[in-house]
Chain A
Amino acid sequence: MRFEVFKEAVTAKAQALGLTDYELYYSRSESVSVDVFRQEVRSFSSSLEGGVCFRCLLGGRMGYASTEDLSAESAEEIVLRAAENAKVLESDDPEFLGEGGASYAEVCPPAAPQLSAAEMTALALDLQKALYAADPRVIDGTSARVIRASDDTAIFNSRGLDVSQHTEAAVALAAPVVTDGKEMSNSYKLSRLKDGLDFSEAVEKSVKEATAKLGAGVAPTGTWPVVFSSSAMASLLGVFSGIFSGENAARGMSLLKGREGEIIASPAVTLTDDPFYKDSIMPSAFDAEGTPTSRKDLIDAGKLTTLLHNLKTAASAGCATTGNAAKSSYNSPVAVRPFTLVLQPGRLTADELLAKAGNGVYIDFLGGLHAGANPISGDFSLQSGGFLIENGKKTQAVRSFTVSGNFYQLLKQIDDLSDTAELSGFGSAHDFACPDVLVSVLSIAGK
């Protein structure tokens, strides 16, 4: 059954049950990917995923139910299940359905190049060849992948909201494995494909990064100035971005609760949430409640200006929604999330930033973020990789050490930032763009 027909079946059932406030959220993702190993196509996969989430207000509570089966029976079933679920909820916070806005920003995500399966295969094989050609130390295990994906989202509710959006992208993934005969090292880089289908930057950067790590030593234990690369900083910001959530604040799960207007970071720090960031793969004109989105600073030169809100968290905080309602998957309840969080760049070049650090550690890899960082307390202790900084220059590669600290303190210890922010390229509507960042002192555990 098509979504339009399913929508009518759901509406009929909701009305038959006497429901007056309800909403249907629809999401559909299609993707095709080609994966090359040695000089052959290892796998080709295509997927069509997605589903619908129905929610309704009953006695002031919002019940949810979702399905991937767009049949007439399913349409009736999710309405009944959502109503059933609403009955046992206990939260007294007022719930809302969005009414949308008078106007929405014009977002024109660049169309992805239209690639046939054969073209994708040829491109992936070329990419693989380029990886082997880039350095004699590149070995089997290296893989190249080309992915084409599109997403459709629609929200329709009893308050008259009816919005939809389509985004698409094509990316190439370069994942070289290299060896010096004694040990292996690897890396990967995503490159968004535009009309020229150029992936040379991903090849060059990924091979350079993988080979630079061969023969890595261990960092010395101690406290040092640390420079996080833009991608490492994006990982860190990604783990801790929940501290800016009005939902977490309301639950006592963010230490930023009620601290708007206070200085929470060094004056070098300005942090912006930008739904229309220039390189974002999925710029968004509306959030998961259909509210028009907007660009705003969360931290302005060190001062916390706002937390992020959806309709519900804004009402309980006594402010307006910031248009940051989000669902992590079509079947998730509406929560709060940034779009692209941009840590605004500073004035120094990347080399000048290293010079300013003097002697310390450059970190361009952080691992185990789901485990080694506590998003509530801000504490982190993370597996790291990178280079020593000696006399203002990157020298010996180092790996298998940890960097520890507290994110709230780190915000105040940011001494300076490089002049170029790079998008981390997680490839979703929720992304992070950071420059290289110099933190005055952090604890390193190595040898």
Chain B
Amino acid sequence: MISRSVCERVLSAAASTGADYAELFAERSLEHNISMVSDKVDKIQDTTIAGAGIRVFLGLRSVAASTVDTSEEGLIRCALQAASALAQGKAAADIRLRERLYGDAHPVRIVPSSVSNEEKIAVLRKAYRAARSYDKTIKQVTGNLLTVDHNILVANTEGTYAQDRQIRTRLGIQSIAEINGETQTGSCHRGARMGMELYEGPVNPIAIGHYASRQAITMAGAGYCPAGVMPVVIDNGFGGVIFHEACGHSLEASSVAYGTSQFCGKLGQVIANEKVTAIDDGTIPNAWGSVNFDDEGTPSRRNVLIDKGVLKSYMIDKMGGRRMNMAPTGNARRQNYGYVTTSRMTNTFIAEGSDSNDDILASVDYGFYAKDMGGGSVNPATGEFNFAVREGYMIRGGKIAEPVRGASLVGKGSEIIMKIDMVGKYLEMGQGMCGSSSGSIPTNVGQPMIRVSSITVGGR
């Protein structure tokens, strides 16, 4: 993409006013998104993203600059702009970059850009038709197939010169059902750090369509969820968004390093129920949130965040690490060159426990069962989080009873993770897009079925 010698000159310019660290991040990415609505291919969004971001650090100060001009002159101009904003004297930096080959733990058999529009549409149409023909109460279906070919280069004054090609694809269907004038939606998304081979086995497009429509119909026929505080069972897969929101964001250096996290200074302390072991693992082969190395050039790894309730690690980027006196953990991420990198999650999940699903459900006399979750959000300072339930049921006498709609779960992260008192045996992941200061990035959430002994269920 950009040669080693050009990178060396750009970094020299960036560090010319006394920076103790300089970094160049360059990318050229293709994003292709086909949408269907009303049974027809409606839109194709097809974008080349190209540009570079330069960062310089001096102690705890950082300067970031980005540009769409990736010619050597453009990069040097951007580097000098960053250097002049730092302006702490002069330094004749002698920068020698060494190429690093981190390897690729995520093989891709069918590169999306080598597949025709027609072949991609055939995959999308399979899922779309499955959703549409599921039942006569399905009034509208929308679907999209996203493929991303993200080429990045990271060079920094620590000598790193590394390139990576991150290929991802994701298929999503949203169904709208109408029963007796009541309209409700259902949706299903599956994605991976894989090529189009994802739809030739690992993921069945027809199952995605069926899932979305089944959910829409279930919810359209449901009454409203009652409001109140009750025990809640959350199923595996996307249910893991509870840990992501209630706890994950508050373990990112972006809040811990600045004192705005409920978990500051709690390493080694019990912060969760002893049933809870939580892990962030960016190395899982072909997983949606995996990276070979992060956007600062640190190789990704498996970080045990919480071990049997005890806080073991945070998720740390280079600047966060400087403030916290801790090493980076391979969690530095950015949506693209225009965003300033910060600490983010990769594939974050609650590890498998020892309770059976039957025992978990049977333990609740009256409560709520969240089969599928929507997204959520959190304020890391207070730990207050919320998330939406896409498909929920009441639990009566230890059994899943009638479906209910319009539920959301709210609470305080530090309180909720103490209340996760049963953890099942079957871990599954769900694929989400996580939004934060460094943009929208792919992250996996995951967990086995869990029980939260009490939580506020919003409904009416």
A residues contacting B by CB (< 8 A) are 37, 40-51, 63-70, 74, 77-78, 81-82, 84-85, 87-92, 117, 139-141, 143, 177, 183-186, 218, 221, 223, 251-253, 255, 331-333, 367-368, 370-372, 374, 376-377, 379-383, 385, 399-405, 443-447
Chain B nearest CB from A284 CB (Å) reads 23
Interface centre among A77, A140, A379 (most CB of B within 10 A): A379
Chain A nearest CB from B220 CB (Å) reads 9
Report A-chain residues with C-beta under 8 Å of the C-beta of B456.
218, 400-402, 445-447
B42 touches A404 (CB 8 A): no
Report B-chain residues with C-beta under 8 Å of the C-beta of A37.
258
B408 touches A221 (CB 8 A): no
B381 touches A141 (CB 8 A): yes
Given B182, B377, B405, which contacts A370 in the complex, CB threshold below 8 Å?
B377
Alpha-carbon gap, A414 to B62, bound state (A):
48
- Count A/B pairs, Cβ under 8 Å: 243
Chain B nearest CB from A343 CB (Å) reads 24
User: What are 8 pairs between A and B in contact, CB < 8 Å?
Assistant: A46-B85, A47-B66, A51-B68, A68-B51, A81-B46, A185-B381, A381-B388, A404-B227
Given B48, B53, B385, which contacts A68 in the complex, CB threshold below 8 Å?
B48
Interface: B183 (CB within 8 A) = yes
B382 touches A185 (CB 8 A): yes
Interface residues of B in 366-394 (CB under 8 A from A): 374-377, 379, 381-382, 384-388
Alpha-carbon gap, A403 to B51, bound state (A):
43
Per-residue interface assignment for chain B, residues 267 to 307, with 1 indicating a CB less than 8 Å from any chain A CB and 0 otherwise: 00000000000000000000000000000000000000000
Report A-chain residues with C-beta under 8 Å of the C-beta of B68.
48-51, 68-70
Alpha-carbon gap, A253 to B183, bound state (A):
9
Alpha-carbon gap, A405 to B224, bound state (A):
10
B405 touches A186 (CB 8 A): no
Given B45, B183, B405, B457, which contacts A332 in the complex, CB threshold below 8 Å?
B45
Interface residues of B in 17-65 (CB under 8 A from A): 28, 37-38, 40-51, 53, 60-65
- Secondary structure type dominating chain B contacts: strand
A376 touches B388 (CB 8 A): no
Interface: B259 (CB within 8 A) = yes
Question: Which residue on chain A has the smallest CB distance to residue B384?
Answer: A400
A141 touches B260 (CB 8 A): yes
A253 touches B377 (CB 8 A): no
Alpha-carbon gap, A183 to B377, bound state (A):
20
B387 touches A68 (CB 8 A): no
Beyond A48-B68, A64-B45, A140-B259, 13 additional contacts (C-beta under 8 Å) are A45-B65, A46-B64, A49-B338, A51-B49, A68-B47, A186-B379, A255-B183, A383-B386, A400-B384, A400-B412, A402-B456, A444-B227, A445-B460
Alpha-carbon gap, A64 to B62, bound state (A):
38
Report A-chain residues with C-beta under 8 Å of the C-beta of B67.
47-48
Alpha-carbon gap, A252 to B40, bound state (A):
14
Interface residues of B in 175-202 (CB under 8 A from A): 176, 182-185
Interface centre among B117, B184, B227 (most CB of A within 10 A): B227
Interface centre among A45, A64, A74, A404 (most CB of B within 10 A): A45
A64-B44, A64-B46, A371-B376 known; A183 vs B382 contact (CB < 8 Å): yes
Report B-chain residues with C-beta under 8 Å of the C-beta of A65.
46-47
Interface: B410 (CB within 8 A) = yes
Interface: B357 (CB within 8 A) = no
A91 touches B40 (CB 8 A): yes
Alpha-carbon gap, A67 to B46, bound state (A):
8
Alpha-carbon gap, A47 to B337, bound state (A):
9
Alpha-carbon gap, A88 to B140, bound state (A):
21
B residues contacting A by CB (< 8 A) are 28, 37-38, 40-51, 53, 60-70, 81-82, 85-86, 117-118, 121, 139-140, 142, 176, 182-185, 224-225, 227-229, 258-260, 262, 338, 340, 374-377, 379, 381-382, 384-388, 405-408, 410-412, 456-460
Interface centre among B49, B118, B412 (most CB of A within 10 A): B49
Alpha-carbon gap, A400 to B38, bound state (A):
39
Alpha-carbon gap, A444 to B229, bound state (A):
12
Chain B nearest CB from A323 CB (Å) reads 21
Question: Which residue on chain B has the smallest CB distance to residue A63?
Answer: B44
A91-B42, A252-B139, A400-B456 known; A372 vs B388 contact (CB < 8 Å): yes
Alpha-carbon gap, A43 to B318, bound state (A):
14
Alpha-carbon gap, A44 to B142, bound state (A):
41
A381 touches B49 (CB 8 A): no
Alpha-carbon gap, A50 to B50, bound state (A):
10
Question: Which residue on chain A has the smallest CB distance to residue B245?
Answer: A368
Given A45, A51, A331, A382, which contacts B458 in the complex, CB threshold below 8 Å?
A382
Chain B nearest CB from A391 CB (Å) reads 25
B66 touches A381 (CB 8 A): no
A383 touches B44 (CB 8 A): no
Chain B nearest CB from A147 CB (Å) reads 13
B44 touches A88 (CB 8 A): yes
Alpha-carbon gap, A405 to B388, bound state (A):
14
Question: Which residue on chain A has the smallest CB distance to residue B338?
Answer: A49
A445 touches B406 (CB 8 A): no
B65 touches A47 (CB 8 A): yes
Question: Which residue on chain B has the smallest CB distance to residue A46?
Answer: B65
A371-B376, A447-B229 known; A88 vs B185 contact (CB < 8 Å): no
Report B-chain residues with C-beta under 8 Å of the C-beta of A143.
258
Question: Which residue on chain A has the smallest CB distance to residue B74?
Answer: A48
Report A-chain residues with C-beta under 8 Å of the C-beta of B53.
47
Alpha-carbon gap, A178 to B393, bound state (A):
39
Report A-chain residues with C-beta under 8 Å of the C-beta of B40.
89-92
Chain B nearest CB from A436 CB (Å) reads 22
B458 touches A368 (CB 8 A): no
Interface centre among B40, B44, B142, B376 (most CB of A within 10 A): B44
B338 touches A367 (CB 8 A): no
Given B139, B182, B228, B260, which contacts A221 in the complex, CB threshold below 8 Å?
B228
A253 touches B45 (CB 8 A): no
B384 touches A399 (CB 8 A): yes
Report A-chain residues with C-beta under 8 Å of the C-beta of B385.
368, 383
B47 touches A368 (CB 8 A): no
Report B-chain residues with C-beta under 8 Å of the C-beta of A447.
229, 456
Given B38, B47, B338, B387, which contacts A331 in the complex, CB threshold below 8 Å?
B47
Chain B nearest CB from A54 CB (Å) reads 10
Chain A nearest CB from B384 CB (Å) reads 5
Alpha-carbon gap, A445 to B224, bound state (A):
13
Interface centre among B47, B64, B183, B384 (most CB of A within 10 A): B47
